[in-house]
Chains A and B, each alone.
Chain A
């Protein structure tokens, strides 16, 4: 007897399906609200090799939904913490922790090592990048995403009986503009919602691997937790969207997915340092978080002008040529950059990618080094 006995005896499943699971390699992008429940079921059912890609660390606000983690994991890298918990449950797992975000530079290398990708990421740039990479590499993509009380599910890049396949761009050809994306500090989520969607994603992965049932191909499912309704609709290829997907590995590596989202230039923390040095006195670093938000950022000289006051407090920028904006996660700073660049067309306006939450931010770097 082994731990898979109850599924092996299931009609239509059997030893053959178990063997297929054992031979499968699944990549979970994002060990968050969707990734955690998905990982638990993928590990428990016997998927042979699981990759977990995430550059984030566990924070206390994750714990209402990221059910692999507990209070003792706060500050740990998510893939490492997830791996540790799963290995403590099942001894014979092969889990690879990939402690970095998927970017256009590493996407091909990471994704090509797996048979199926489960997208549990939490932002549009990564979702489009993962989609395009899966199209390019011809990998099935099990898509899940949530907004407040609602979730979406779809299986992309797998042909149906008529050899027709669709991808995320057939549903939404291009990412929304930044102003359409809610502020990081505005939107909430109830933990069980990604639990439902992440579990549905795991079910689709298992169906794809074993061939049981009818995977959710060329269909989109929307679940509303509030009225417990599932809305289902069918999807077909949209010829106009094909041109938006990079055609070669080289093209993909050169596509700036963060930039494709908006017309504002995003820069990294290391570039911030260069700009502040090169344009000394002419460049200003602005914290657009609200006054109550902590921790205060003191690594470089900066002023705090909250996004909510930006419309009325613009005269301040007159004296500068380069304006660099940051916030906690890099979303409000983009909105702020839009506002400022509309008003001051001759100035260089930048938003710091990922904000203070970016693992490369001076705050995070110090955290990793154990200095905070």
Chain B
């Protein structure tokens, strides 16, 4: 099971700021699953963090992995 944490205005689309997913083996597959479930997320800019490390390429996920989806904030 993978835990997904969602931040900022991305929760407008996912409603929950934390949920679990099963059956995804890497981050590419996870994003595909998320875009299917929440089509509004596709095309938005955000960064993915896996087990508290920001990733720049597809990354394998394991049972218990924690993924965070981080959008940019601009307010001040």
**Chain B residue with the shortest CB-CB distance to A145:** B73
A148 to B7, CA, bound (A): 11
**Chain B residue with the shortest CB-CB distance to A238:** B56
A58 to B53, CA, bound (A): 39
Find out whether the CB atom of A220 lies under 8 angstroms from the CB atom of B54.
yes
B8 at the interface (CB under 8 A from A): yes
Give B residues with C-beta under 8 Å from A: 5, 7-9, 17, 44-45, 47, 49, 52-54, 56, 68, 70-76
A12 to B45, CA, bound (A): 42
A-B contact sample (5 more), CB < 8 A, given A233-B52, A236-B53: A33-B76, A35-B76, A145-B72, A145-B73, A238-B56
Identify which of B5, B9, B53, B56 contacts A234 (C-beta below 8 A).
B53
- B46–chain A nearest beta-carbon distance, Å: 8
A332 at the interface (CB under 8 A from B): no
Residues of B with C-beta under 8 A to A170? 54
Find out whether the CB atom of A171 lies under 8 angstroms from the CB atom of B47.
yes
Offer 19 A-B interface pairs, CB within 8 angstroms, sorted by A.
A33-B75, A34-B76, A144-B76, A146-B73, A146-B75, A146-B76, A151-B73, A152-B73, A171-B54, A171-B70, A177-B45, A180-B45, A224-B17, A231-B7, A232-B52, A233-B53, A233-B54, A233-B68, A236-B53
- B20–chain A nearest beta-carbon distance, Å: 17
- A30-B76 contact given A147-B9, A233-B68, CB 8 Å threshold: yes
A34 to B17, CA, bound (A): 25
A172 at the interface (CB under 8 A from B): yes
A51 at the interface (CB under 8 A from B): no
Residues of A with C-beta under 8 A to B74? 122-124, 127, 145, 147, 181
- A174-B45 contact given A232-B52, A234-B53, CB 8 Å threshold: yes
Give A residues with C-beta under 8 Å from B: 30, 32-35, 119-124, 127, 144-148, 150-152, 170-172, 174-177, 180-182, 187, 189, 194, 220, 222, 224, 231-236, 238, 240
Residues of B with C-beta under 8 A to A123? 74
A236 to B47, CA, bound (A): 12
Find out whether the CB atom of B73 lies under 8 angstroms from the CB atom of A150.
yes
Find out whether the CB atom of A176 lies under 8 angstroms from the CB atom of B76.
no
Identify which of B44, B53, B71, B75 contacts A187 (C-beta below 8 A).
B75
Residues of A with C-beta under 8 A to B7? 150, 222, 224, 231
Residues of B with C-beta under 8 A to A181? 74
Residues of A with C-beta under 8 A to B5? 231
A151 to B76, CA, bound (A): 9
Find out whether the CB atom of B75 lies under 8 angstroms from the CB atom of A147.
yes
Identify which of B8, B72, B76 contacts A122 (C-beta below 8 A).
B76
Q: Which of A30, A120, A176, A181 has the most CB of B within 10 A?
A: A176
A28 to B74, CA, bound (A): 16
- B69–chain A nearest beta-carbon distance, Å: 11
Residues of B with C-beta under 8 A to A234? 52-54
A152 to B53, CA, bound (A): 15
A175 to B54, CA, bound (A): 18
- A32–chain B nearest beta-carbon distance, Å: 5
Find out whether the CB atom of B54 lies under 8 angstroms from the CB atom of A235.
yes
Find out whether the CB atom of B76 lies under 8 angstroms from the CB atom of A231.
no
A236 to B72, CA, bound (A): 17
Identify which of A177, A182, A231, A233 contacts B9 (C-beta below 8 A).
A182
Find out whether the CB atom of B75 lies under 8 angstroms from the CB atom of A176.
no
Find out whether the CB atom of A236 lies under 8 angstroms from the CB atom of B75.
no
Residues of B with C-beta under 8 A to A177? 45
- A10–chain B nearest beta-carbon distance, Å: 30
